[in-house]
Amino acid sequence: MKIIRQPGKMSVEMRKCRRAGKSIGLVPTMGALHEGHFSLIRKARKENDIVAVSIFVNPAQFGPGEDFKKYPRQSGKDTVYCRRMGADFVFSPCAKDMYPEGYSTFVNVDGLSDALCGSSRPGHFRGVATVLSKLFNIVLPDTVYMGQKDAQQSVIVSRMARDLNFPLKVKVSPTVRGKDGLALSSRNTYLKEKDRASAAVLFKSLKLAETMVKNGQRNSARIIKSMKNLIEKNAAPRIDYIKIVDRRNLKAVQKVKSGDLIALAVRFGRTRLIDNTIIKDT
């Protein structure tokens, strides 16, 4: 496995792979890898000749007062994990190489970036779209692997790839969860013990919503109210949002249908967690 830090050198290596006719799978991450990431790497390994994992804590997607400086970093462990998972390349650049002095070009996906998390994290998805467009140009992947936990991100990236004619597919894999249902996240390490136990209510609220839909409830406001009541009854969080949206455009819906996305963001202490579920056939 090769560990590369310079964008130019990574680009040269990837072009060699392309000229050799090899397929490339990219797993973009910010490090602090966990089983959710591992599942994506394993899938990429199964489906491609070459697997590249990017590890880059992207400053462009953090707003003022957010956790950029304290975001968990464990580069040594992460490279060991990548080797064990069968990655061929780890691309781990520094910020000054990805955003050199005078950098002034950004990518924004209008509309989609302003919904859900975008309303409380202005500029976040501009940073995500920008860094991923750079990674696509550097790594030249055939397929990009993302997790369903970051549902809005995957929708935005898929739209960006389509709109900008990137010749690749975005594959989204199911959310990987702990035994209590909490979606695995690098930010889970921030949680205090009591908050970690309380956070399991997020998955319970999503399962409640699924059950309500299965039993015939289609009114999104009633479903959201029941989810909110359950969360507030079982924990002392601050709810950022609970919304039911059309997965194609992330616009709120009044009547739930198959394929709609139920998404939420909730703070436990200072830690903001997100989760979601997609409504199955109704």
Residues forming the active site = 37
Distance CA 29, CA 48 (A): 18
Dihedrals phi, psi of 24, to nearest 5 degrees: -125, 130
Q: How many CA atoms lie within 13 A of 164 on its CB side?
A: 19
Distance CA 115, CA 5 (A): 34
Residue 274 CB burial class (10 angstroms; 0-12, 13-18, ≥19): buried
Place of tokens 């935005």: 156
Residues 184 and 217 sit within 8 Å (Cβ to Cβ): no
